[in-house]
Amino acid sequence: MNGARRAPLSSRSLHSSPVHMASSIVLFGPPGAGKGTQAGNIVEMTGKPQVSTGDMLRAALAAGTSLGVEAKGFMEAGQLVPDSIIIGLIEERLKEADAENGVLFDGFPRTIAQAEALSQIAEVSVVIAIEVPDGRIVERICGRYTCGACAAVYHDTFNPTANPGVCDQCGHAEMKRRADDNEDTVRTRLSAYHTQTAPLADWYRQRDIFVAVNGDQDIAKVGSEIAAVL
Cα-flanking dihedrals φ and ψ of residue 19, to 5°?
-55, 130
Active site residue 144: yes
Q: Binding string, 99-138, against ligand ADP, x = CB under 6 A?
A: ----------------------------------------
- The helix-helix angle for 112-121 and 199-206 (nearest 10°) equals 40
Considering only residues 57 to 86 of the shown chain, the ones binding ligand ADP according to CB under 6 A are: none
As measured in angstroms, the least distance from the Cβ of 15 to ligand AMP is 29
The phi-psi region of residue 47 (left if phi > 0; otherwise alpha if psi is between -120 and 50; otherwise beta) is left
Residue 185 found at the interface with ligand ADP (CB under 6 A) = no
Residue 80 found at the interface with ligand AMP (CB under 6 A) = yes
* Half-sphere exposure for 135 (CA within 13 Å, toward CB): 2
Closer Cβ to ligand ADP, 48 or 144, answer by number = 144
As measured in angstroms, the least distance from the Cβ of 154 to ligand ADP is 5
Strand partners, 146: 153, 176
Closer Cβ to ligand ADP, 31 or 78, answer by number = 31
Tell me the number of residues near ligand ADP by CB under 6 A: 20
Considering only residues 16 to 75 of the shown chain, the ones binding ligand AMP according to CB under 6 A are: 31, 53-54, 57, 74-75
Residue 154 found at the interface with ligand ADP (CB under 6 A) = yes
Closest by CA position to 60, among listed 50, 73, 70, 51? 70
Closer Cβ to ligand AMP, 76 or 171, answer by number = 76
Closer Cβ to ligand ADP, 147 or 209, answer by number = 147
Task: State the binding partner of 203 from ligand AMP, ligand ADP, none, CB within 5 to 8 A by kind.
Answer: none
Task: Return contacts of 131-136, CB within 8 angstroms, 24+ apart.
Answer: 131/1, 131/2, 131/3, 131/6, 131/29, 131/33, 131/212, 131/213, 131/214, 131/215, 131/216, 132/29, 132/30, 132/32, 132/33, 132/34, 132/215, 132/216, 133/216, 134/30, 134/190, 136/32, 136/216
Residues tagged active-site: 35, 110, 144, 178, 189
Contacts with ligand AMP, residue ranges (CB under 6 A) = 31, 53-54, 57, 74-75, 78-81, 86, 107-108, 110, 114, 189
